[in-house]
Amino acid sequence: MTHRVQDIAVALGCEAAGATDIFVDGVREPAEAGPEHLALAMKPEFAETLPKGRARVALLWAGADWQAMGLEAAIFAERPRYALSGLSAMMDPGPRFPEGIHPSAVIDPSAEVGIGVSIGAFTVVGPGAVIGKGSVIGPQCHIGANVRLGEGAFLHAQVTLAHDVTIGARFIAQTGARIGGDGFSFVTPEKSGAERARETMGDQGETKAQPWARIHSLGGVVIGDDVEIGANSCIDRGTVRATVVGSGTKIDNLVQVGHNCIIGRDCLLCGQAALAGSVRTGDNCVFGGQSGVADNILIGDNVITGGGSKVLSNVPSGRVLLGYPATKMDIQTESYKAIRRLPRLARDVAALKKAVSKLVESD
259 is catalytic: yes
Please tell me the distance from the alpha carbon of residue 257 to that of residue 252, in angstroms, as a whole number.
11
Q: Domains plus CATH for the chain?
A: 3-91 (3.40.1390.10), 106-188+208-327 (2.160.10.10)
- Closest among 134, 124, 67, 126 to 97, alpha carbons compared: 134
**pTM for this structure?**
0.89
pLDDT 10s digit of each residue in the chain, 363 long?
799 999 999 999 999 999 999 999 999 999 999 999 999 999 999 999 999 999 999 999 999 999 999 999 999 999 999 999 999 999 988 777 877 999 999 999 999 999 999 999 999 999 999 999 999 999 999 999 999 999 999 999 999 999 999 999 999 999 999 999 999 999 999 989 988 998 898 899 888 889 999 999 999 999 999 999 999 999 999 999 999 999 999 999 999 999 999 999 999 999 999 999 999 999 999 999 999 999 999 999 999 999 999 999 999 999 999 999 999 999 999 988 998 999 999 999 999 998 888 787 776
Q: Which of 3, 37, 142, 259 is catalytic?
A: 259
Please tell me the distance from the alpha carbon of residue 267 to that of residue 288, in angstroms, as a whole number.
11
Conformational region of residue 244, where left means phi above 0, alpha means psi within -120 to 50, and beta covers everything else: beta
> CA 298 → CA 92, 278, 301, 314, distances in Å?
39, 9, 10, 5
Long-range contacts of 24-31 (CB under 8 A, 24+ apart): 24/57, 25/1, 26/1, 26/91, 27/59, 27/87, 27/88, 27/91, 28/53, 28/55, 29/53, 30/55, 30/58
Please tell me the distance from the alpha carbon of residue 94 to that of residue 9, in angstroms, as a whole number.
22
